[in-house]
Structure 1
Amino acid sequence: MKAKLGMSPIAWWNDDLVELSDDVSLEECLRQSRSAGFTGMEKGRRFPDDPAVMLPILKAADVTLCGGWFSGTLVDEDLATNKARIAPMIELFKAVDAPCIVYGEVGRSVQGDRSRPLNTKPRLDDDEMKAYGRTLTAFGEWCAEQGMPLSYHHHMGAVVETEAELDTFMSHSGEGIPLLFDAGHLAFAGGDVLAAIDKHHKRINHVHVKDVRMGVIDALDRSRQSFLDAVALGAFTVPGDGSLDFGAIVQKFADYGYEGWFVVEAEQDPKANPPLTMAQLGYKELMRVMTNAGYTVETQGFPKG
């Protein structure tokens, strides 16, 4: 089985908490992640939106674009509005041969608002979730028809956060909307990571290997502290530096024959946790557990020729 290892630039520059950002260029960010061993990088705020500009940067770094976040609002806004916003991103991602666009629901979400405590997250009743699942399926099918699949990201603070919400969303949506599985977000939400992979592996087309520090999470006052407070306190980290057993997680994916991207997305203070050091630590741990699980990790970055 083959796998690819990527990173998210959120380790270098945080889009929601600017104070948790390293003052490094896009080129330096790519250089550091590639030197640690990673062959892919998800899109961040310092990436150009013109493929003619982006491709030479990726080629020089020997890195491929392995995904990127789209802030979806389908819980509140219509298909046409979201289609219009995502259309330029689809064209960009097709031009640079990215594997998927990550759909993150920001409608009603508290994830980006530091004044909103964790326990004020939005909740959908069953009828609302049914309608939401149908809408996301239609949107995912449309994006795939345009040549770029989506990957739905369950997320702390959003309408699909908990294991129960994920199960309900998956039951009311169809194969037209694949799933991004994020072990860190599900563990933060109190879910059973391995059980969720068992239930939803057929729909998973992208994986974020985010670790958590459960001591930080368990100490949170969810009636007072926000998701961004948790990030600033160090709730997340790279595999091998937190509480999750990525040996068991990766083995579970191997058991189901998953092949594709495993992306380290670990937002934390780059001054306390230097991104290059953390990238090296995460890569070493992932290579250990992936080798044990029988994966061959691809070492080629930007396509040759």
Structure 2
Amino acid sequence: MSVRLGINPLTWTNDDMPSLGGNTPLEVCLSEGRQAGFSGFELGHKFPRDPEVLGPILDKHGLSLVSGWYSSELLTRSAEEEIEALKPHLHLLKSLGATAMVFCEVTHCIHGQRETPLSHSPRMSKEGWKTLIPRLNQVADYCLEQGVQIAYHHHLGTVIETPAEIERLMAETKPSVGLLLDSGHLVGAGGDPVAAQQQYADRIVHVHCKDIRREVLEDVRNRDLSFLDGVLNGMFTVPGDGYIDYVPLFRGLRESGYEGWMVVEAEQDPAVAHPLTYARLGHDNLKRFCTEAGLQVTE
């Protein structure tokens, strides 16, 4: 099986806390990401959203558009309203060859609130589930008809965070709703990436490789800290710099026939974690883990 290695600009400049790397130009992110060895980037808040503008910028660096985050509000607006809201984003992804949309329901989310601890993550009500599922199915069907599949991002601080919530989401949605498997968010929520890969092998359409520093995660939970405090304290890092074992996970992806992007998405304070150093470390470790798992990497 063949995969490609991509990176998210969070290594350089943070979307949830724009002050982190706020002065770093997009040009630096792209040039250093390519220098580190990556062949694609996900979107960030500094990326132009016109495909005719962004396309030549990426081409200049020899980079592909991997995907891009979309904030859904399906608990508070209809599927038709959501489809209208996402059309510009969908157009951008489709125009530049991305086939997966990072999709997350953000109603009541707290991951961008530094004063709110992760223990206060929102939970879905019975009515919430009844509202979300049919709307999500309708939006996912529409996107797939346009050639881009939703990759639902389970995320700390949102309504779909825990292994039980992921399980229910996958059980009740149609196959058009793909899953983004994020190793760091899953471990942070008490899950097992290898078990999740085996359970949802036929639904995984995108992979985020975020490692966890165990002692910082334990401190965040013990002191009831927020997601952003966890980021600032170094809870996340690139693959191979934490305690997640990636080779069994990648071996499972190979056995299930996964062919897509492996994306380093590991937000840290760039003033503490030098972006190019960690980008290189993440790329080299990711490539080595893929090789050990029998996954061929396409540049």
TM-score, normalised by the number of residues in structure 2: 0.96
Aligned mates of 1:148, 1:165 — CA distance in 2: 24
Aligned residues: 299
Counterpart residue type for residue 16 of structure 2: D
Percent identical? 41
Counterpart residue type for residue 140 of structure 2: G
Match of 1:250 in 2: 250
Q: Any idea what SS the aligned residue of 1:201 has?
A: coil
Match of 1:195 in 2: 195
Match of 2:17 in 1: 17
Match of 2:290 in 1: 290
The answer to whether structure 1 residue 146 and structure 2 residue 160 are counterparts is no
Residue 99 of structure 2 contacts residue 147 of structure 2 at CA under 8 Å; is this kept in 1? no
Distance 1:221 1:261, change over 3 A: closer
Match of 2:268 in 1: 268
Aligned mates of 1:269, 1:178 — CA distance in 2: 30
TM-superposed deviation, 1:127: 5.0
Per mean C-alpha deviation after superposition, the further-off stretch among 83-92 and 220-229 is: 220-229
TM-score, normalised by the number of residues in structure 1: 0.94
Per mean C-alpha deviation after superposition, the further-off stretch among 143-152 and 234-243 is: 143-152
Alignment of 1:1-305 (within 5 A): 1-21=1-21, 23-221=23-221, 224-299=224-299
TM-superposed deviation, 1:129: 2.2
Counterpart residue type for residue 46 of structure 2: R
TM-superposed deviation, 1:206: 0.4
Structure 1 moving runs of 4+ over 6 Å: none
Residue 22 of structure 1 contacts residue 271 of structure 1 at CA under 8 Å; is this kept in 2? no
CA deviation string 1:98-143 (max 9, x = no partner): 1221101111111111122111111114453244222211111011
TM-superposed deviation, 1:2: 0.4
TM-superposed deviation, 1:239: 0.3
Aligned mates of 2:128, 2:34 — CA distance in 1: 43
TM-superposed deviation, 1:252: 1.6
Unaligned runs of 5+ in 2: none
Aligned mates of 1:133, 1:222 — CA distance in 2: 33
Aligned mates of 1:131, 1:57 — CA distance in 2: 40
Aligned mates of 1:110, 1:24 — CA distance in 2: 26
Counterpart residue type for residue 215 of structure 1: E
